[in-house]
């Protein structure tokens, strides 16, 4: 499962006692919950359901570990076999395919074989890249899936292995927020290893989010002060990577080459749903600055940091981003 670029939540050290904060380990990362201005008993029950729901999403979508799910079962079917996927999985697959199309294949939900080959999700990181020929053999074709009779999905090739690692974490956050709202929580934030969704305000004031510098640990590129229902997701090249012969190899693969994308150090997308922000931050990372026009077309605020460390952003991001001094 993909670790996204870490975003720091800048909560004041003197935050009011009404803040309720809990941390859980889900989806291979620490998930931080902050609830403002809520009754403790209500918040505790909401957190139990939110955590349980997010864990359910992980179990339902992961292709790693021992969990049995429909995604793994689909990946195990012979190409050409019609399969009726659960409605939830089919919905996320449809969203993924829409992002793939609109990003001109900068995003691909069928990189499972490549991701397994590179091994960035293993407990121990790889130390050298696989052979180019092996990577090429694992690359999926451009057309991986067909829909039959509006209900059954068909894999076209054995190299087509579903991996929702670049979208499932965002979806889990959206479901977690839904559980908080179910209990009447109006002001909260969920931060899952850099995938963030906020609702409401922080005790009547904006939530302050710092976007971490992709090269200078402990520094931020700038901050955002936000109120409402907003998701902020950043994809970066340094959470899971290794250096080999003077070159950095990281976990965000370019579907066109099968190798780590070389355009960006980080890419941030801001929109309402974390599901979409998650997928599009990956696509934007692969595209780099050229992808900002699509973000503007979709109405998303977005920013990239290129390989030279230069910051590029669209007008929507310029209007809310406060650069670090």
The pLDDT value given to residue 238: 87
3-class SS of residue 95: helix
The pLDDT value given to residue 56: 98
Task: List, in order of start, the domains of the chain with CATH numbers.
Answer: 1-325 (3.10.520.10)
The pLDDT value given to residue 7: 42
The pLDDT value given to residue 196: 97
Is residue 221 within a helix (H) or strand (E), and if so which, with residue range? strand 220-226
**What is the token pair recorded at 10?**
């800048």
Q: What is the C-alpha separation between 103 and 85, in angstroms, rounded?
A: 24
- Residue ranges of the chain with per-residue pLDDT less than 50: 1-9, 11-16
The pLDDT value given to residue 17: 52
Among 269, 193, 240, 222, smallest CA distance to 25 is for: 193
- CB-CB contact of 283 with 277 (8 Å): no
| Burial readout 271-303 (b: 16 or more C-beta within 10 A, e: otherwise) | bebbbbbbbbbbbbbbbbbebbebbeeeebbbb
The pLDDT value given to residue 64: 94
- CB-CB contact of 127 with 242 (8 Å): yes
User: 288: alpha, beta or left, given left = phi > 0 and alpha = psi -120 to 50?
Assistant: left
Q: Which residues lie across from 313 on neighbouring strands?
A: 303
pTM of this structure = 0.93
What are the distances in angstroms from CA 27 to CA 35, 192, 321, 325?
21, 8, 29, 34
Is residue 266 within a helix (H) or strand (E), and if so which, with residue range? strand 264-271
Neighbours of 199 (CB within 10 A): 20
Q: What is the C-alpha separation between 158 and 288, in angstroms, rounded?
A: 30
């Amino acid at each position: 499962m993909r670790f996204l670029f870490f975003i720091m939540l800048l909560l004041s050290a003197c935050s009011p006692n009404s803040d309720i904060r809990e941390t859980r380990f889900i989806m291979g990362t620490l998930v931080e919950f902050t609830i403002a201005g809520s009754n403790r008993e209500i918040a505790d029950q909401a957190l139990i359901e939110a955590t349980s729901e997010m864990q359910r999403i992980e179990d339902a979508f992961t292709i790693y570990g021992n969990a049995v799910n429909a995604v793994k079962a689909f990946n195990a079917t012979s190409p050409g076999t019609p399969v009726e996927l659960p409605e939830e999985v089919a919905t996320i697959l449809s969203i993924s395919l829409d992002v793939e199309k609109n990003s001109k294949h900068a995003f691909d939900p069928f990189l499972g074989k490549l991701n397994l080959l590179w091994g960035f999700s293993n407990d121990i990181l790889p130390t050298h890249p696989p052979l180019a020929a092996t990577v090429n053999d694992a690359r999926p074709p451009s057309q991986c899936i067909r829909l039959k009779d509006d209900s059954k999905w068909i894999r076209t090739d054995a190299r087509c292995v579903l991996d929702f690692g670049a979208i499932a974490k965002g979806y889990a956050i959206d479901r977690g927020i839904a559980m908080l709202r179910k209990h009447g929580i109006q002001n909260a934030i969920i931060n899952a290893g850099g995938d963030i969704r906020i609702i409401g305000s922080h005790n009547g004031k904006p939530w302050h989010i710092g976007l971490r510098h992709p090269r200078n640990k402990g520094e931020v590129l700038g901050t955002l002060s936000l109120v409402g229902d907003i998701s902020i997701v950043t994809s970066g090249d340094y959470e899971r990577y290794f250096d080999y012969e003077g070159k950095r190899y990281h976990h965000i693969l370019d579907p066109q080459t099968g190798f780590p994308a070389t355009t960006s150090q980080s890419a941030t997308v801001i929109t309402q749903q974390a599901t979409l922000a998650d997928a599009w931050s990956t696509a934007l990372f692969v595209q780099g600055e050229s992808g900002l026009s699509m973000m503007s077309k979709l109405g998303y605020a977005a920013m990239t940091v290129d390989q030279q460390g230069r910051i590029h952003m669209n007008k929507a991001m310029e209007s809310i981003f406060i650069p670090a001094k």
